[in-house]
Structure 1
Amino acid sequence: MTTEMSFAQGYVQANSYIPYDQILLFGDSITQFSEYQGRGFAFSPQLQDDYVRKLDVLNRGFSGYTSSQGLNVLPQFFPPPYVAKVRMMHVPLDKYRENLKAIIQHPVVRRGGTKVVLLTPPPVNEYQLTAFDLSKGVTPLSRSANNTKLYADACREVGQSLNVAIADIWSAFMKEAGWVDGQPIAGSKNVPENSKLASLLVDGLHFTGDGYKVMYNEVLRAIRESYPDEAPEKQPVHFPPYQLAEDA
Structure 2
Amino acid sequence: MAVAEAGACGRLLLWPRVVLFGDSITEFSFQEGGWGAALASRLVRKCDVVNRGFSGYNTRWAKVVLPRLMGASAAAERTVAVTIFFGANDSALKDVNPQQHVPLEEYAANLTSMVHYLKSIDISEDRIILITPPPLQESAWEKECLAKGDKLNRRNATTGEYAQACVRVARDCGTEVLDLWTLMQKDQDFSHYLSDGLHLSTKGSSFLVGQLWSHLEKRLSALPSLLPYWRDVDPQDPEASLL
> What is the TM-score normalised by the length of structure 1?
0.78
| 1:239 maps onto 2:231 in alignment | no
Q: How does 1:23-102 map to 2 (within 5 A)?
A: 23-37=18-32, 41-78=33-70, 80-84=72-76, 85-94=78-87, 95=90, 96-102=107-113
| 1:138 maps onto 2:150 in alignment | yes
Q: 1:12-32: per-residue Cα shift (whole Å, max 9, x none)?
A: xx9875311110000000001
Which of the residues 180, 190, 204 maps onto 1:197? Answer: 190
Query: Who is 1:164 aligned against?
Result: 175
Residue ranges of structure 1 left out of the alignment (5+ in a row): 1-13, 179-195
Q: 1:124-156: per-residue Cα shift (whole Å, max 9, x none)?
A: 0111111111122322x2110111110111100
Distance 1:237 1:50 in 2: 11
Structure 2 residue matching 1:118: 3-state secondary structure: strand
Distance 1:113 1:58 in 2: 16
Distance 1:244 1:29 in 2: 42
Q: 1:79 deviation in Å?
A: 5.1
Q: 1:89 deviation in Å?
A: 1.2
One-letter amino acid of the counterpart of residue 65, structure 1 = Y
Change (3 A) 1:78 1:201: same
One-letter amino acid of the counterpart of residue 118, structure 1 = L
Distance 1:109 1:89 in 2: 11
Change (3 A) 1:109 1:62: farther
The 8 Å contact of residues 24 and 56 in structure 2, kept in 1 or not, is answered as: yes
One-letter amino acid of the counterpart of residue 150, structure 1 = E
Q: 1:109 deviation in Å?
A: 4.9
Query: Who is 2:210 aligned against?
Result: 217
Query: Who is 1:121 aligned against?
Result: 133
One-letter amino acid of the counterpart of residue 46, structure 2 = K
Q: Give the structure, 1 or 2, with the largest relative contact order (CA under 8 Å, sep 6 or more).
A: 1
The 8 Å contact of residues 194 and 200 in structure 2, kept in 1 or not, is answered as: yes
Residue ranges of structure 2 left out of the alignment (5+ in a row): 1-8, 91-106
Distance 1:167 1:204 in 2: 20
Structure 1 residue matching 2:63: 3-state secondary structure: helix
* Structure label with greater radius of gyration: 2
Q: 1:102-132: per-residue Cα shift (whole Å, max 9, x none)?
A: 11111x5531324101111110011111111
Aligned residues between the structures: 207
Q: How much is the aligned-residue C-alpha RMSD, in angstroms? A: 1.9
Distance 2:109 2:57 in 1: 16
Distance 2:139 2:210 in 1: 26
Q: 1:52 deviation in Å?
A: 0.8
Q: 1:92 deviation in Å?
A: 1.7
Q: 1:66 deviation in Å?
A: 1.0
Q: 1:11-66: per-residue Cα shift (whole Å, max 9, x none)?
A: xxx987531111000000000111111xxx32111111111111100001000011
Q: 1:163-191: per-residue Cα shift (whole Å, max 9, x none)?
A: 1011121122112x23xxxxxxxxxxxxx
The 8 Å contact of residues 54 and 235 in structure 1, kept in 2 or not, is answered as: yes
Flag the structure with higher helix content: 2
The 8 Å contact of residues 17 and 49 in structure 2, kept in 1 or not, is answered as: yes
